[in-house]
Amino acid sequence: MFRGDNEASNPITVFEFKKPGRDDFANPSSKEDPVQQIVRYVNSIKKGKFKTPKGRPIQVAENTPFYGYVMCEITEKVKEWLKMEKDFTPMPDGGGWFKWFGNNNLYMEVLSWDKVLRDAEMRNRVFFHKLGID
């Protein structure tokens, strides 16, 4: 979880990482569903079950925005699971999926490891060039 200053108007970001090569979390019997894990984290934060690293209550209001990111391998099995069971929408570049959970004020993305790496390299290309490490 990440947050800047502990103010109710600041967004809270929750990350869930799944080991590259794994897609067993998409099995119907899996207890490691990363989408549900993030929804549960958001609900727990709203109920005051988490504190800041300094031990203070996390300030949350009804309209506090939440962002959830799942980093995982996007196999055909995961694509089918996201589309048919989780009702996510594919991103135009095919490297991830997204969904809005209106009642939780939660925007979630499921991203492939390749997309995360590709986007980071693209964002930092000029910086690396200026440093001479490209």
The residue segments making up the domain with residue 55 are: 12-131
DSSP state of 51: B
pLDDT band at 124 (very low <50, low <70, confident <90, very high): confident
pLDDT (tens digit per residue) in 55-90? 888 999 989 999 999 999 999 999 999 999 999 999
Residue 14 CA to residue 86 CA, distance in Å, equals 18
Q: What is the dihedral of CA 101, 103, 106, 107, to 10 degrees?
A: 30
Residue 118 CA to residue 18 CA, distance in Å, equals 18
Kindly state whether residue 1 falls inside one of the protein's structural domains.
no
Kindly state whether residue 53 falls inside one of the protein's structural domains.
yes
- CA proximity to 58, closest of 20, 5, 123, 134: 5
Strand pairing partners for 13? 2, 67
pTM to 2 decimals?
0.85
Kindly state whether residue 2 falls inside one of the protein's structural domains.
no
User: Which residue type does 62 have?
Assistant: E
Kindly state whether residue 70 falls inside one of the protein's structural domains.
yes
Task: Please state, for a pLDDT cut of 70, what percent of the chain lies above it.
Answer: 96
Structural domain count, the chain: 1
